[in-house]
């Protein structure tokens, strides 16, 4: 599973927003139907919205992130 982080959406918080993602090929069909799918640089990912959470940034490994949603805001 990969993770998507919005590092600076909540700058005043001591934690960071984390949205778990996985590639659409790694999911079983029933879960694909209930999770939104996003396209990131041409790759499709299922977003596990029920488990969006906040984590201490010291416990987050940079290698686990595939993108920062802040750069996608208009």
Range 1-6 contact pairs with CB under 8 angstroms and sequence separation of 24 or more? 1/26, 2/45, 2/64, 2/65, 2/66, 3/60, 3/64, 3/65, 3/66, 4/40, 4/45, 4/47, 4/65, 4/66, 4/67, 4/68, 4/69, 5/60, 5/65, 5/68, 5/69, 6/68, 6/69, 6/70
| 48: pLDDT strictly greater than 70 | yes
More confident residue, 70 or 37: 37
- Give percent of the chain with pLDDT exceeding 70: 61
């Amino acid at each position: 599973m990969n993770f998507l982080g919005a590092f600076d959406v909540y700058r005043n918080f001591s934690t960071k927003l984390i949205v778990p993602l996985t590639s659409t090929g790694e999911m079983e069909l029933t879960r694909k139907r209930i999770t939104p799918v996003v396209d990131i640089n041409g790759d499709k990912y299922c977003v596990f919205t029920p488990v969006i959470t906040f984590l201490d940034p010291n416990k987050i490994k940079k290698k686990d992130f595939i993108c920062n949603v802040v750069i996608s805001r208009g």
